[in-house]
């Protein structure tokens, strides 16, 4: 069946460090890939959406890249700030299905 794997449970960085969070997916149909960010006390909000048509998304200094060969999509940021501390989720949409398949989330802690 369709699945997504997000292995990094927690990432701790210092300000100005490089961020890289990876997700891998499995599906037999065409994927749409999402990155969401959740701040404390709030619901998740969309950070980036990547499709097979565009392969890459950029928003708020974050970049998401999709690699069909390795069935992975990763989130990166060149220089993190303390305000980026949050939980980041990857999610997989397949075909024209209304449901998303969610990763377990990566808690990012950025120390000043």
Partner 1 sequence: GGIITQTPKFLIGQEGQKLTLKCQQNFNHDTMYWYRQDSGKGLRLIYYSITENDLQKGDLSEGYDASREKKSSFSLTVTSAQKNEMAVFLCASSIGLGGPYEQYFGPGTRLTVL
Count of residues that interact with partner 1, criterion CB under 8 A:
24
Q: What is the spatial distance between Cα 108 and Cα 18, in angstroms, rounded to a whole number?
A: 12
Are the beta carbons of 112 and 13 closer than 8 angstroms? Answer: no
**Per-position DSSP letters for 29-48, written without gaps between them:** S-EEEEEEEE-TTS--EEEE
**Binding-site member from 12, 14, 97, 111 for partner 1 (CB under 8 A):** 97
Q: Is 54 in the site for partner 1 (CB under 8 A)?
A: no
Q: List binders of partner 1 among 60-89 (CB under 8 A).
A: 89
Between 13 and 50, name the residue whose CB sits nearer to partner 1: 50
Q: Is 49 in the site for partner 1 (CB under 8 A)?
A: yes
**Binding-site member from 46, 52, 58, 68 for partner 1 (CB under 8 A):** 46
**Binding-site member from 21, 24, 25, 103 for partner 1 (CB under 8 A):** 103
Region from 20-28, 38-46, 54-62, 78-86 binding partner 1, contact rule CB under 8 A: 38-46
The residues of the shown chain that bind partner 1, judged by CB under 8 A, are 6, 9, 32, 34, 41-46, 49, 89, 93-94, 96-100, 102-105, 107
């Amino acid at each position: 069946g369709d699945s997504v794997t997000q292995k990094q449970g927690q990432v701790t960085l210092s300000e100005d460090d490089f961020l890289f969070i990876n997700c891998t997916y499995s599906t037999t149909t065409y994927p749409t890939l999402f990155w969401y960010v959740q701040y404390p006390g709030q619901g998740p909000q969309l950070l980036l959406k990547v499709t097979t048509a565009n392969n890459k998304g950029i928003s708020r200094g974050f970049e998401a890249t999709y690699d069909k060969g390795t069935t992975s999509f990763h989130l990166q940021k060149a220089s993190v700030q303390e305000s980026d501390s949050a939980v980041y989720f990857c999610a997989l949409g397949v075909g024209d299905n209304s449901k998303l398949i969610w990763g377990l989330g990566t808690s990012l802690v950025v120390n000043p």
